[in-house]
Structure 1
Amino acid sequence: MNTINMKLASGAGGITAWRPTAITGTEIALITAADAAPILPGLDLWDSWPLAHEDGRTAIVEGRQYWFFLSAPCFPDPGHRHNAAKIRLASLGGDGWRDHGDCLPEALSPGSREWAGSAVLHADGTSVTLLFTAAGRRGEGHSFEQRLFAASGVLGSQGPGGWMRSDELVRPDGARYFIAAEGEGTPGMIKAFRDPAWLRDPATGQAHLLFTGSAGWDDHAYNGVIGLATQGADGAWQLEDPLISAVGVNNELERPHVVLRAGRYYLFWSTQRRTFDPAGETGPNGLYAMVADQLRGPYQPVNGTGLVAGNPAAEPTQSYSWWVTGEGEVWSFIDHWGLQGRSFADHPELLRQQFGGTPAPVFRLTFDGVRVSLA
């Protein structure tokens, strides 16, 4: 451990360590067969995010919201979807959902797969930035290399599109952030540099990226962090110290994003029971958060432990990948639901049969200081 990394590990960089105890909290309602009807038949959909204004409000364009989903064909084993993921654009209006097809042209997609990100409609009302994760490299063999990219586009009559270029934003430094370029990995245990979420800090006017990372200063098997990068006056992005460290606690703090309420910064993320260090405290697959009075912290866990809402104990994998909109609505996708205690080992048909692959029922949150609860 070098001197720089020792300072990081000791908190000199302002990193808040997440050390939860006795993780219990509100359970999400059980998902039913009626909830699992696909919105885009023939495709599995999972991680989602809306086109949002710079202040976080969901953009409504001629009565429609535009949503980006990770998508793939309906494979017999839905686990294979991650190896074929493409970003799909759909819109929601008074007539329901419309499919707008794959989002990015092949020439602008630098990875072998496209993983999650965010999208912002800028203050001019026309310019759009799609931030996303390029997994692997186009035309090369499979890997878990992850890079952060942004595509520039415009808002047209059919929503965001007209993508003109795709640029890499920032790279891991190997000290604060592990260089996530593994050739192989086990689900939940690969290292991370993904999930860019855009934020304009109203206190400074600066643009930031939050992202899922892995600690570069500690080789613990469970070393997830929430990273930060800031855009300078020249438009270039610069890495900063992580905001949250879960070294020794959890390997993946996925899809981090900030929602502002009453001057407070609520930093949300998703994680799963399997990515907690089994030697310590574990929590359910669920939505977690910490709160601070300024972007760089210090943060404290909401509700005492960080858990906002978890899957019910009866169906621990029924939904995942929660995204909180500026309006306080919580979106996610239906994962393996209705298992009723059955295992895939005994019932392999359930892999396909009970995978939702479509948006889960939306719920709302209420914010009250260090408390965040279901409305």
Structure 2
Amino acid sequence: MPSGQTAGTLWSADHVAAIGPLASFAAPLIGAADLADALPELGLWDAWPVQNDDGSIHRFADGASLWMALGAPWFENPDDRHAHARIHLLLRQASGWRSLGPAMPEGFAPGSREWSGSAIMDADGGGLTLYFTAAGTRGEAQPTFGQRLFQARARLAENADAPRLTDWRDLRESVALDERLYMDPLSGGGGIGTIKAFRDPGFFRDPATGEAWLFFTGSRAGSASAFNGVIGAARGAGGPDDPWRIVPPVISADGLNNELERPHVIHHAGLYYLFWSTQSHVFDPAGPVGPTGLYGMVSDRLEGEWRPLNGTGLVIANPPEAPRQAYSWLVLPDLRVTSFVDDWGHGADHADTRRFGGTFAPFLALALDGERARLRAAP
């Protein structure tokens, strides 16, 4: 790190080593009946709602909401989906989910595929800003693992059929990589679980100051460890045309874990809760190794110091009998939690073909009390 720059609050081996029995953190086992909301034409994974500036879900008069999710055709090897990912628009109604097609028009985004982000509705409800990851570069012969943070604006058009996003414009790079602070993803190789990160922009407006933040998944520059995941950040006024200023990582798992994915913040009972997802196979195998799950920290202010929830960071784990059943948890301001069905219905040592669910997992719900977090019955 450059002189005077910090690596952020450390999520350490001591924290993970203190994780006890998983029963109190384990999500319910997912069964075949829980896949009823699948969209047959697409495999879906990382998802997020279109939110208002204060973080609440934007809703139409009938209560329906717009969501975005990464989607791709079905492949025999589910990992192939990452090379074909596009952001798809979905309508959530009382009757279920409806696909509205790709969010952005073909050829608009600058990457060879689109990875996770967040979306914020304008105050008047007439349009939105999408923050997203451009992976690779448009037209490349083979997918590469370059990652850039972009944003673009669109107009929301409502008609008798369904809402649509039109007039896509103002495409620009939100935050450029600063290699003094964050490692270039292209320098890390391309193996699953080993690639380096500069992705997953999550927008948050600080209710105390009015300042906007973008949190993202990064990799620590100058690390001596192959397991150098961090949560990075940029700060700004947060208007559609306002610039962002990149800042040092806010949380570091250097020496412990390679990927702190899809970081996002909610404000609850006067405290800030920063959550991320990670998988057991991206921990340093020298240990300790935590379960695939949702992790988080809490602070009195966004600048830190951050304190691991439950003393360890672990908030939700997959059940031991299905350790890969769900992933990519997102905590909403009302403390409901969404994720997607990954490899479901199997034990840790199964020899069957991987069963990729490719749809929304059943919603969960949290109870937060200061530095404690627990599952509660979903509403």
Q: Does the Cα contact within 8 Å between 2:323 and 2:348 map onto a contact in 1?
A: no
- 1:244-283 alignment to 2 at 5 Å? 244-283=251-290
Tell me how far apart the structure 2 counterparts of residues 160 and 224 of structure 1 sit (CA, whole Å).
36
- Say if 1:342 and 1:217 are closer, same or farther in 2 by CA, change over 3 A: closer
Question: What displacement does 1:306 show?
Answer: 0.4
Q: Does the Cα contact within 8 Å between 1:23 and 1:282 map onto a contact in 2?
A: no
Within the candidate set 181, 196, 205, 1:200 is matched to 205
Deviations 1:320-341 (A, max 9, x none): 0001111111000000011234
- Identify the residue that residue 57 of structure 1 maps to in structure 2: 56
Tell me how far apart the structure 1 counterparts of residues 205 and 9 of structure 2 sit (CA, whole Å).
21
Higher mean C-alpha displacement, 279-288 vs 251-260: 279-288
Tell me how far apart the structure 2 counterparts of residues 160 and 282 of structure 1 sit (CA, whole Å).
44
Tell me how far apart the structure 2 counterparts of residues 145 and 269 of structure 1 sit (CA, whole Å).
21
- Identify the residue that residue 18 of structure 2 maps to in structure 1: 22
Tell me how far apart the structure 1 counterparts of residues 164 and 374 of structure 2 sit (CA, whole Å).
33
- 1:359-374 alignment to 2 at 5 Å? 359-374=360-375
- Identify the residue that residue 169 of structure 2 maps to in structure 1: 164
- Say if 1:342 and 1:65 are closer, same or farther in 2 by CA, change over 3 A: same
2:198 equivalent to 1:180: no
2:247 equivalent to 1:240: yes
Deviations 1:263-303 (A, max 9, x none): 10000000001111122321111000000000111000011
- Identify the residue that residue 294 of structure 2 maps to in structure 1: 287
Q: Does the Cα contact within 8 Å between 1:87 and 1:114 map onto a contact in 2?
A: yes
Aligned length: 362
- Identify the residue that residue 33 of structure 1 maps to in structure 2: 32
Question: What displacement does 1:2 show?
Answer: 5.0
TM-score scaled by structure 2?
A: 0.92
- Identify the residue that residue 344 of structure 2 maps to in structure 1: 337
Q: Does the Cα contact within 8 Å between 1:58 and 1:327 map onto a contact in 2?
A: no
Q: Does the Cα contact within 8 Å between 1:228 and 1:241 map onto a contact in 2?
A: yes
- Say if 1:183 and 1:297 are closer, same or farther in 2 by CA, change over 3 A: closer
Tell me how far apart the structure 1 counterparts of residues 47 and 38 of structure 2 sit (CA, whole Å).
13
TM-score scaled by structure 1?
A: 0.93
Question: What displacement does 1:342 show?
Answer: 4.8
| RMSD, matched Cα | 1.6
Question: What displacement does 1:358 show?
Answer: 0.4
- 1:293-304 alignment to 2 at 5 Å? 293-304=300-311
- Say if 1:140 and 1:244 are closer, same or farther in 2 by CA, change over 3 A: same
Tell me how far apart the structure 2 counterparts of residues 219 and 102 of structure 1 sit (CA, whole Å).
40
Q: Does the Cα contact within 8 Å between 1:23 and 1:281 map onto a contact in 2?
A: no
Deviations 1:84-131 (A, max 9, x none): 001111111123222100111123211001000011113233231111
Question: What displacement does 1:256 show?
Answer: 0.2
- Identify the residue that residue 12 of structure 1 maps to in structure 2: none
Question: What displacement does 1:154 show?
Answer: 2.3
- Identify the residue that residue 195 of structure 2 maps to in structure 1: 190
Tell me how far apart the structure 1 counterparts of residues 150 and 186 of structure 2 sit (CA, whole Å).
15
Q: Does the Cα contact within 8 Å between 1:253 and 1:271 map onto a contact in 2?
A: yes
- Structure 1: which 4+ aligned runs deviate by more than 4 Å? none
Question: What displacement does 1:180 show?
Answer: 1.4
